[in-house]
Structure formats: structure tokens, C-alpha cells
């Protein structure tokens, strides 16, 4: 399969998928999202001998710095909901993938990037990795599952603080809070992820798939917080505040929010 924004390398059944938009800090534009969808729904399931998948970002500065702000700047509330629902569907494909998917977080994992890492089964962070959900800086909320998965990993106390303050945390704090499984020096993240996939692939494959399925089932509540997030993301996408927040980001200045 040909990709514009993903590099896919196969090493003895371990696929390393690199999001390859280094100049935009690997921001997730719609083409990249489409390619992730095709990869997880068509390409990867058809590969024989697949042991697991490592997701990482090109360069040494960012894993993924979020959804591509420049691209969704002009969306209205309805289109914002469509964008969020699409992102949820793709990230559920990752979370429900029956083989281990490990995020090798090699720098900024912000907004949609933090959400992408959280949709993976395990996370390895380099010492310089930084995590955060800075959407409120833009007058937005997370739209790819961040309000739900951050609570799953951190608990409500820290999750709601990070969601409301937009503060970033470093790799060591992410480890301490239970967001990442291991912290390694830069350059060693893929080797650590490979070691884990080798270990997991020596176990019963059906059992591993059932572990993933059963763990995911723990978080299926009656009240669908993911659906709430889709609606709320759409609501924030349609605001003047988001236009102002995104314009301020692009013009590299502080936003002047009006609350509408
Ligand atoms: N979308 C589009 N472009 C982005 C981007 C993003 N999320 N993040 C970075 N870029 C671009 C910058 O615009 C810049 O491009 P130009 O050179 O053309 O100006 C380039 O990447 C390098 O970025 P900076 O110059 O800003 O680099 P820096 O070292 O000064 O700062 C950073 C790095 C702190 C990560 C900063 O880029 C930043 O704050 N990025 C935005 C993070 C963010 O807000 N993410 C959330 C996006 S919304 C979202 O993800 C919603 C959702 O849940 C679905």
C-alpha cells in the first residue's frame, strides 16, 4: 500500500509506522488520518506473520503535535463533530487492534498526538517527550478521545487539571502518573518497543487478542463519554473563540477570547 505521510517498515513481523510530516511536527492532517485508517483496517490485518506495530513520529522533536490546526480552522460545529467522530473511529481501530500496538513517543505528544499515544496499548517515552492536551489554549476541547482516555490513565484528579490548564508534563512525570510504561534515552524507544513486542508475540496470539478485548471492555460504560466529547468538540469548533485561538497560534500571539 502506498502512503504520502506514513513510512512503514517491516522487520521480522514488527511494523514500524512513522508519521512523516516533520516540518509540521507530524501534525495529523486529514490525509494522515485517512492513511492511519487504511493502515489499521486494510493493510496491517492482511499481513501474515505480524507480531505487532510501533507508531512513532519523524525527527527528534515531536511524536505528533496534534491535529493539524491550519486544516480545520474553518470548520463549523457540524463539521467539527464529523471530524471528531472520524478520529474516534480511527483511534478505536487502534485500541481494538488484536496485536500489540506501541507508541514510541519521541518528543511532543500534544492534543491529537497525546490522544494517539493513549489509543495505543503501551507507550514508551524518550526522556525529552512532553505530553499535554493544550486544546483549551485554542478555545477547543480534545476531539480524539482525550477527555475520556486521560481519565482512564491518570484518574480524574490529574486529568481534569491537565485538561483545564493545558499544562504539559515531561516523560518522568508521565511515568510517575501511569501514562507511560517506560522512559528511555532518545534513540532507544524503538528498541524497547521491539523487545516488548518480541516478548508478547511469544505468548498465545488468541490469548493476547482476548486480553486486549477484555481490558477494553472494562471502559464501556452506560453513559457514553466519547459521544459527549464528539458533540462538545463540534460545539467548540463552531465558536468565535476557536477562530481567535487558532489565528493567535498561527500569528504567534496571545489569544483574546470573548467567550462566544
Ligand atoms: N497543527 C499545525 N501545524 C503545527 C501544529 C499543529 N498542531 N503544531 C506545530 N505546527 C507547525 C507550526 O505551525 C510551525 O509551522 P511554521 O514553521 O509553518 O510556522 C511548525 O509546526 C513548528 O512549530 P513551532 O514553530 O510552533 O515550534 P516550537 O518549537 O516553537 O513549538 C510546540 C512546538 C509547543 C509543539 C508548538 O508547535 C505548539 O504549541 N503546537 C500546537 C500544539 C497544539 O495546540 N496541539 C493541539 C491541536 S488541536 C487538536 O489536536 C484537537 C484534537 O484533539 C483533535
Q: What is the CATH number of the domain that holds 130?
A: 3.90.226.10
The residue segments making up the domain with residue 241 are 205-251
> Which atom of ligand 1 lies closest to the CA of 133?
46
Q: Tens digits of per-residue pLDDT, 182-200?
A: 999 999 999 999 999 999 9
Task: Name the one residue in this structure whose C-alpha cell is 488484536.
Answer: 98
Q: Which of 115, 161, 195, 213 is catalytic?
A: 115
Interior CA angle at 20 toward 197 and 15, to 5°?
20
95 is catalytic: no
Question: Per the domain annotation, does 1 fall within a domain?
Answer: no
Whether residue 189 has its Cβ less than 6 Å from ligand 1: no
What cell does 6 get? 506514513
Question: Per the domain annotation, does 103 fall within a domain?
Answer: yes
Q: Are residues 47 and 171 in the same domain?
A: yes
Q: Are residues 110 and 81 in the same domain?
A: yes
What cell does 163 get? 485538561
Question: Per the domain annotation, does 56 fall within a domain?
Answer: yes
What cell does 52 get? 505487532
Q: Are residues 136 and 244 in the same domain?
A: no
Q: Are residues 168 and 216 in the same domain?
A: no
115 is catalytic: yes
Between 1 and 86, the more confident residue is: 86
- Rounded to 10 deg, the angle between the 77-95 and 30-38 helix axes is 30
Q: Are residues 41 and 157 in the same domain?
A: yes
Q: 63-89: buried (b, 16+ CB within 10 Å) or exposed (e) per residue? A: bbbbbbbeebbebeeeebbebbbbbbe
- CA dist 2 and 56 (Å) reads 18
Mean pLDDT of 43-70: 97
Q: Are residues 111 and 218 in the same domain?
A: no
Q: What is the distance in A from the centroid of ligand 1 to the CA of 190? A: 24
Whether residue 142 has its Cβ less than 6 Å from ligand 1: yes
pLDDT value, residue 223: 65
> Which atom of ligand 1 lies closest to the CA of 146?
53
The best mutation among 5, 24, 113, 142 to test binding of ligand 1, ranked by most ligand atoms within 8 Å of the C-beta, falls on 24
pLDDT value, residue 222: 67
> Which atom of ligand 1 lies closest to the CA of 66?
50
Mean pLDDT of 236-260: 92
Residues 139/143/144/146 CA torsion (nearest 10 deg): 60
Q: How many domains does the chain have?
A: 2
Whether residue 229 has its Cβ less than 6 Å from ligand 1: no
> Which atom of ligand 1 lies closest to the CA of 87?
54
Q: Which of 35, 71, 127, 135 is catalytic?
A: 135
Q: Are residues 194 and 211 in the same domain?
A: no
Question: Does residue 225 have a pLDDT over 80?
Answer: no
Whether residue 135 has its Cβ less than 6 Å from ligand 1: yes
Q: Are 15 and 53 in contact (CB under 8 A)?
A: yes
Q: What is the pTM of this model?
A: 0.95
Average pLDDT, the chain: 95
Q: Are residues 224 and 144 in the same domain?
A: no
Interior CA angle at 170 toward 167 and 173, to 5°?
95
Question: Does residue 29 have a pLDDT over 70?
Answer: yes
Question: Per the domain annotation, does 95 fall within a domain?
Answer: yes
pLDDT value, residue 76: 92
Amino acid at each position: 500500500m502506498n502512503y504520502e505521510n506514513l513510512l512503514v517498515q517491516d522487520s521480522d513481523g514488527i511494523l514500524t509506522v512513522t508519521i512523516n510530516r516533520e516540518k509540521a511536527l507530524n501534525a495529523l492532517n486529514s490525509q494522515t488520518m485517512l492513511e492511519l485508517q487504511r493502515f489499521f483496517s486494510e493493510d496491517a490485518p492482511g499481513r501474515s506473520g505480524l507480531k505487532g506495530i510501533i507508531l512513532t513520529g519523524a525527527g527528534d522533536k515531536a511524536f505528533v503535535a496534534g491535529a493539524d490546526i491550519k486544516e480545520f480552522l474553518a470548520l463549523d460545529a457540524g463539521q467539527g463533530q464529523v471530524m471528531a467522530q472520524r478520529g474516534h473511529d480511527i483511534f478505536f481501530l487502534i485500541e481494538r487492534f488484536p496485536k500489540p500496538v506501541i507508541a514510541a513517543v519521541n518528543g511532543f505528544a500534544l492534543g491529537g498526538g497525546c490522544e494517539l499515544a493513549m489509543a495505543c496499548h503501551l507507550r514508551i517515552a524518550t526522556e525529552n517527550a512532553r505530553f499535554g492536551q493544550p486544546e483549551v489554549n485554542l478555545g477547543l476541547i480534545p476531539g480524539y478521545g482525550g477527555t475520556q482516555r486521560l481519565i482512564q490513565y491518570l484518574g480524574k484528579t490529574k486529568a481534569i487539571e491537565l485538561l483545564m490548564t493545558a499544562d504539559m508534563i515531561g516523560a518522568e512525570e508521565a511515568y510517575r502518573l501511569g501514562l507511560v510504561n517506560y522512559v528511555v534515552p532518545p534513540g532507544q524507544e524503538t528498541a524497547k518497543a521491539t523487545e516488548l513486542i518480541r516478548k508478547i508475540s511469544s505468548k498465545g496470539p488468541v490469548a493476547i487478542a482476548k486480553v486486549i478485548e477484555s481490558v477494553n471492555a472494562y471502559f464501556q460504560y452506560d453513559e457514553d463519554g466519547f459521544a459527549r466529547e464528539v458533540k462538545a468538540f463540534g460545539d467548540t469548533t463552531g465558536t468565535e473563540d476557536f477562530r481567535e485561538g487558532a489565528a493567535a497560534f498561527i500569528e504567534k500571539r496571545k489569544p483574546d477570547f470573548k467567550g462566544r
